[in-house]
Structure formats: structure tokens, C-alpha cells
Structure 1
Amino acid sequence: MCRVPGPTLTDIARAAEVSTATVSHALNGTGRIAGPTRRRVREVAAGLGYVTRRTAPRTRTLGVAVTTYPRAWDYAEVAYFSRALTAATSAAHARGYALTTLPADRAADDTWHSLAVDGMLIMDSPRGDPMAHALRARGIPLVFDGVPGDPRPGDHWVDNDHEAATREVLDHLAASGARRIALQSGDGDEHYARAVTAAYTGWCARRGADPLVVPFDVTDGQGRAFDALLRGPHRADAVYAAYDPGGRQLLAAAARLGLRVPGELRVVCASEDPGYAATLPPVTTVTLDPERTARAAVGLLVGLIEGDGGTALGPVVVPAGLLVRDSSRAQPAAG
């Protein structure tokens, strides 16, 4: 029985008036070609009766990783990243993509030179990020969750206005009666730590106040780094903790030092952990809306991959929110 050959990539390219490379990318779901072109090529191929010889279609894949620290750590245990990953997975699946979550350890830089993804979402990218450097060199579309440490013209990212959020927290604490407000901030090289710290020191300078900054230490469960800050006649009477565990560290420090919250110490923490609503007292938190951020980032990334001319250019700003609870409320005057 004689097999009648079907149309070739060259036949499809000639009919669609594109190159054979464009035909290959369009049929395989790869490359950076315009969405309308991809659809037109597939329609022409179907009209010519083209049947792919692959036994199974290649799954289009997005990657996601947190590259803040060059060491192994389980970022999925942090409420922000956990919620962002869930939302990103859902958004990717809705667009027909798988989502691969990569480990945080950046020690094996060669990994990024062979990573098989159509696009990459990088969270909290610091200066000199080897992953961003390698993927940029390969021409793989990138979107950043948070301003990248080394932003370049044409980069795309989704982030909050951390300066405005920090000022809102500090104004809230001042309005509640706090007079010596401290900041617990990270020592990483990601944009978030730098933006929050700069906003805090600028706020203090405008009010003629000395900045009081305590470095964040994830291993300091008892909050002993706060001891010197919370003792003596000139102790701090409020602290904004810019990282998730900071609220519990402050509650532990206050209990150990015999300080009433919020009577003698007001506490605000940037966190997505719902458990802060059930602490004693419930802790005021700043939410960065990780679900909205992740969905926006995935939509932006898929648009870049598929050459969607309607894709909004970065940066995309997602509003933060202040959830006021008892730990930072104004106290009635003693009478």
C-alpha cells in the first residue's frame, strides 16, 4: 500500500507566506512570534491537512524561582510565596502552560544555561543574579515579581509601591501615638529591602528623627535582636517588621521584657500569614496581595512568549493594603 505524503513545513510556509522557522515555532508552541501569526500558521496547516508526527504534543512550560539568596531554603513555607505559587499555577494552567517551581539554591549556575522553559518568572531577583543573566543571554522571556536588582531597558516586572506602603504604616503608627518608631528590615540585596529601608529613613529625616533599624534574622525566634532597642528610657515604642516572622519575634520580645502590646509597644508586620489575626493581640499586617501579583505576572509573561501586541509593558503596580488590628491601635489616655 502506497503512503501519500502530506504537506511539509515548506508547503505550509509557502502558503502562509512565512519562513519555515516560523512554521516550526507556531506548530510547536515555541519561539517569540506574534499571536495572530501563530494562529494563522496553524489554520493554514490544518487547511492543508498537516498532521504532526510527534506522538505527544510538547507541553508549554513556565518556570518560577526565588533567587534572593544564593543558598538552599524552602521559600514555599513562606506565606507570601506559597500563595503566589498557587495563584501562578492556576493562572498558568488557565493559559495552557505547565508551571515548574525551581529550588532556591543558585550554586549550580550551569542549570540556568540548559533550563527548558518557554518563559521564566523570577521573584526577588538581586543584583548580579546569575539566573537572570543566563536566561537573558538565551533570549528566554522574563518577568520579575519585584523590581530586579539589575533592571534593564525593556524589562518587565510586577511589584507593589513599597515606598508608599511604608509611609502609610509609619503615618499610621505616628497617628496612634508612637513617637520612636523602629524598622526591622532585611539585609538581602533585593529591591524590597532597599526600598522599604530608604522610605523609612526618608520619613525619619523629614521629621528630624533618628532612624532605628534592626536587621532581620529568620533564626531569631525569640526576637533577642530587639532587646537593646526595647530597653531604657529612650526605647522604641513601635516597630514595623518588614518580613513575615518579625511580628511573632516582636511579640516574643515584648513578653520577655514585660512590655504591653499595644500599650507600650505598637507592632506592624508585612505578612500574608492569616495566623496574625489570631495572635494575642492580633497583629496589624501589610498585605502585598501575592495572588493578584502572580496572576498579573503570569499574564504578562504569556503575552511576551506569544507575542501578544496588546500586552501591557512593565512595570505593573499592585496596591498593598494595611490591615489594622489591635497591635497598633491608639490607646485611650489615662484618666
Structure 2
Amino acid sequence: MSPVPRPTLADIARAAEVSTATVSHALNGTGRLAATTRRRVRETATALGYATPRTAPRTRTLGVAVTTYARAWNYAEVAYFSRALTAATSAAHAHGYALTTLPADRAADDAWHGLAVDGMLIMDSPRGDPMVHALRARGIPLVFDGVPGDPRPGDHWVDNDHETTTHEVLDHLAASGARRIALQSGSGNEHYARAVTQAYAGWCAERGADPLVVPFDGTDGQGEAFDTLLRGPDRADAVYAAYDPGGRQLLAAAARLDLRIPDALRVVCASEDPGYATTRPPVTTVTLNPEQTARAAVTLLVDLIETGTAPTSVVVPAGLLVRDSSRAGQPPAPGHAGL
């Protein structure tokens, strides 16, 4: 079979209704073009399957991005991503690749249309992820940290067993004496939020318990979203926070509402932050083992690039680190619920 001809600059120019010079400037990041024109040309090139020719040897490069939110935020400051990025960089270098970390603001930066990488590691990809769409169209090998929001047959990903982990946390809280266990979970389109919430709902259904779900709000430093949940005779007596700041939000809420931890409220938080070992009281955490996950994902990606084959999925076990915040406590005496 004869090879399918690759699109030329002239093909892109005709499809985008611009000149070949405009196409060249748009793809190379040169010239004085309107942002909308540059974006339209790059999107047209991607749709046609155009790949920028390599005129000189370059370092083999992997890319990594967190695409959960279409806004600017510094994911490198979050403990999970910070540890994962360090491990991914080390693993990439061990395989002879450089690692390029992309900023999170996809809406303002369409660089992935001309991104020069051999493969891409995408973390927490949501449904309708435009970066995934563009990279798939260009035929760039992809591996996901976390099941992608729009999975396709043959996708490659590394993740934890969130159902098993969530059930382990809830069983631990129930064994410690908790009777009304709530979940603080995300409302985003990423697989993690959906998987944890579904596992929690299933666990509650098996026991005939009403699910109590509090949406995660990273800006709620004082944990005010928990106030209604933690007041009254039918208040929750345990909370599993599925995101890193949730543990400190619950500590703040308990202090404000005069609830002793763990006697009146048991707390577990999914976090890689070592600071939870020194809070008062130390908070029980779930580790998703970001280093092991990142190393496995890079190895998958390199295998996919170099051999064209790799396992479809790899499951990394999570771990429950039990501390004082969720140990069995005694119900406080009436009028003595405070710290």
C-alpha cells in the first residue's frame, strides 16, 4: 500500500482560508497574527494530521500536564502532583528522555497544537478534554494518570482502585465507632471524583444509610461548608475528605463548632502532605502513592513510543495511614464536647 500523503502548508492554507505565510507564522509562533487566527490555523493543521517536520535531531521528550480545570492554577504546589512530577522526571531521565511540564491554563494557551513531544502523560483528564482531542488527532502516544474522562478502547492509564480504597476507609471509620459517615468529594468531570462518590454511595446503600456528600471547595479555608452537616442531634460523626485541603478544613470546622476529634468527629483525608502527621490531632490520610503511579505511567509511555505496545492499564495500590483523628473514641460527656 502506498503511504497516505502528509498535508502541506498549502493544504492547511486552503482549509483555513489564509496564506501559506500565515500558516508558517502560526505554526512556528512567529509573525504578528491575531490570537484567533493563530488558533484557527493550528486547529486546522491538527485536524488535517499535520506534523511539523524535524529539520535537526532533538532530545527525546515527554510532556506532562494536569488538565482537570480549564484555568490557571499551580498544580506543582499540590503535594500529590509535586511528588508525581519529581518521580516522573527521574523516570523519564532514566529512560533517556527529557520531561516538559505544561502550565494548567489550557484556555489561554493552545501550545499543544504544535507541541514537540514524543509522547504525553496527562493527569486527571476530564470529559471533553481539548488537549486530549488535539493530541489524539496528531497521533501522539498518550498515557493517563487516572482513568481519562473520555476513555477509548486501547487507552493506556495508571490508577488506583478507588472503590476498594473508599470501602477500606469507610469500613475503618465504621469499626472505630462512627455511625453517620459523610464524604467530601469533588464535583468535577475527572474520573477520581466520580469513582470515589459512586463507591461511597454504594457502600451506604449496602448498609441502608443515607449518603451525606459535601462538595469540595478549595477556597473554604475554615470549612464552613461542613457547618450544617456537623450540627444537631443527627450530625455526621465522621467525614472522609477526598481532597488534600479537606483535612485542615475539618480541623478548622471542628474547632469552631467545639467538636473534639476523634471523640465527637472522626476525620480521614486523602493527601500526600506530610504535615498531617503533626497537626493536632494528627490526621489519618490515604496515600495514592504518586511516585509509584508516575514511574509506572512513564514506563508505559516509553514502551508505547518505542515498541508500540504496552499494557492497557496498571493498578497501583493506595495505602491507609491511621493516625489519632480516626481512632476509636469515647462519646463526650454532655456539655463537654469542646477541645
Note if 1:327 corresponds to 2:325: yes
Letter in 2 for 1:318: V
Aligned to 2:75: 75
CA distance in 2, matches of 1:141, 1:155: 10
Equivalent positions of 1:1-335 (< 5 A) are: 57-108=57-108, 110-307=110-307, 309=309, 311=310, 313-332=311-330
Contact 1:166 1:196 in 2 (8 A): yes
Letter in 2 for 1:212: L
Following superposition, the deviation at residue 108 of structure 1 comes to: 3.8
CA deviation digits over 1:283-332, x for unaligned, max 9? 000000000000000000001111165x3x12100000000000000125
Contact 2:263 2:331 in 1 (8 A): no
CA distance in 2, matches of 1:89, 1:221: 32
Give the aligned length.
281
Aligned to 1:10: none
TM-score by length of 1: 0.81
Aligned to 2:35: none
Name the stretch that deviates more: 104-113 or 56-65: 104-113
Contact 2:159 2:293 in 1 (8 A): yes
Residues 150 and 163 of structure 1, relative CA distance in 2, 3 Å threshold? same
Unaligned runs of 5+ in 2: 4-53, 334-339
CA deviation digits over 1:110-133, x for unaligned, max 9? 322111100000000000100001
CA distance in 2, matches of 1:149, 1:55: 36
Following superposition, the deviation at residue 55 of structure 1 comes to: 11
Name the stretch that deviates more: 299-308 or 321-330: 299-308
CA distance in 2, matches of 1:333, 1:66: 43
CA distance in 2, matches of 1:232, 1:248: 22
Letter in 1 for 2:328: A
CA distance in 2, matches of 1:61, 1:75: 21
CA distance in 1, matches of 2:144, 2:189: 15
Contact 2:122 2:144 in 1 (8 A): yes
Residues 334 and 75 of structure 1, relative CA distance in 2, 3 Å threshold? closer
* Structure with max Cα Rg: 1
Contact 2:120 2:143 in 1 (8 A): yes
TM-score by length of 2: 0.80
Residues 230 and 198 of structure 1, relative CA distance in 2, 3 Å threshold? same
Unaligned runs of 5+ in 1: 1-18, 20-53
Letter in 1 for 2:169: V
Following superposition, the deviation at residue 187 of structure 1 comes to: 1.0
Contact 2:263 2:332 in 1 (8 A): no
Identity of aligned residues (%): 85
CA distance in 2, matches of 1:243, 1:214: 12
Contact 1:109 1:130 in 2 (8 A): no
Contact 2:263 2:330 in 1 (8 A): no
Following superposition, the deviation at residue 215 of structure 1 comes to: 0.3
Name the stretch that deviates more: 237-246 or 112-121: 112-121
Contact 1:239 1:267 in 2 (8 A): yes
Residues 73 and 169 of structure 1, relative CA distance in 2, 3 Å threshold? same
CA deviation digits over 1:77-102, x for unaligned, max 9? 10000000000000000111000000
CA distance in 2, matches of 1:262, 1:177: 10
CA distance in 1, matches of 2:293, 2:324: 27
Contact 1:109 1:131 in 2 (8 A): no
CA deviation digits over 1:171-219, x for unaligned, max 9? 0000000000000000110000000000001111111111000000000
CA distance in 2, matches of 1:224, 1:108: 32
Residues 236 and 185 of structure 1, relative CA distance in 2, 3 Å threshold? same
Q: What's the RMSD between the two structures over aligned residues?
A: 1.8
Letter in 2 for 1:139: G
CA distance in 2, matches of 1:226, 1:286: 20
Following superposition, the deviation at residue 163 of structure 1 comes to: 0.7
